[in-house]
Amino acid sequence: MELEKQSDPKITPEKGKNGGARPGAGRPKGSTHKITAKDILATAQQIVGKPLVVSIMEGYRDTIIEGDRKGRQIYEKMLLDKSAATMLDVEVEDVGDLVSAKALAFSEAIKQLSQINPQDTPKE
């Protein structure tokens, strides 16, 4: 069954009205109001009083202590997404070896992360 186009003039876009650049739109040239990752990390440290990484790890530790499985799962996914890719370098010499090399790298990253002891993190 083919979909038929509706010929309702109310929903037909007029040329030049939808999309495209508009005068005055966007951040002005030369503007210094651009937020960077460095700014976010510095502000978080200033407000919380400690580096953002420490705050994140304390939150992860708290989910473990409180037995919050869903919260812990969220933290672990975030930590794996951000750190596992940079923990190990994988050299692949053969394309057929690619899957096993990735599986080995992932298992090594999990092993390293599982050795982190939440009691070793600094307490307030």
The residue that leads in pLDDT, 92 or 65, is: 65
Is the pLDDT at 16 greater than 70, yes or no?
no
b/e burial code for range 29-39 (CB count within 10 A of at least 16 → b): eeeeeeeeeee
Report if residue 111 sits inside a domain. Answer: yes
CB 113 within 8 A of CB 83: yes
Is residue 2 situated within a structural domain?
no
In a domain, residue 83? The reply is yes
Domain assignment present for residue 90? The answer is yes
Q: How many C-beta neighbours within 10 Å does residue 60 have?
A: 20
CA 24, 22, 36, 77 dihedral sign is positive
pLDDT band of residue 123 (cuts 50, 70, 90) is low
Would residue 91 count as lying in a domain?
A: yes
- What is the number of structural domains in the chain? 1
pLDDT band at residue 112, thresholds of 50, 70 and 90?
Answer: confident
- pLDDT at residue 8, rounded to an integer: 54
Question: Is residue 11 assigned to a domain?
Answer: no
48 within some domain: yes
Residue 106: inside a domain, yes or no?
yes
Q: What is the pLDDT of residues 28-74, one digit of tens each?
A: 777 777 778 888 888 888 998 998 888 889 999 999 999 999 999 99
Domain of 69 in residue numbering reads as: 35-119
Nearest 5°: the CA angle 114, 105, 90 is 140
Confidence of residue 1 (pLDDT cuts 50, 70, 90): very low
